[in-house]
Amino acid sequence: MKITVIVQGHSVEYFPEEQFPPDHDGPYEFELGEAMTVRQFLETVGVNPLLVMAVIVDGKRMDKDFHLYDGADVILLAPLAGG
């Protein structure tokens, strides 16, 4: 099962460089060996789910317990910060 992931916002700085190389702005392609939720995907690639404020799958907002499927385009949005 293959998914495409785009990370929006500053939290990509805290994502593992092995999975999300800093010299590459995305999208990132992932081959998943099994079906999983967004939360399980994040944990599998070493990302704290708290670093993701919202998840968009194929243009629709989903929660982190949404089950990913083959060909899904996933956008991960970071929490807002600044001041």
Q: pLDDT at residue 3 above 80?
A: yes
* pTM, entire model: 0.87
Question: Mean pLDDT highest for which of 9-18, 21-30, 42-51?
Answer: 42-51
**Banded pLDDT at 83 (limits 50, 70, 90):** low
Please give the order of strands across the beta sheet that includes 73-77. 28-31, 2-8, 73-77, 54-57, 60-62
Architecture of domain 2-77: Roll (3.10)
pLDDT tens-digit map of 34-59: 999 999 999 999 999 998 999 999 99
Q: Rounded distance, CA 9 to CA 20, Å?
A: 13
Domain boundaries, the chain: 2-77
What is the mean pLDDT of the segment spanning 6-15? 81
Upper half-sphere CA count for residue 54 (Cβ side, 13 Å): 9
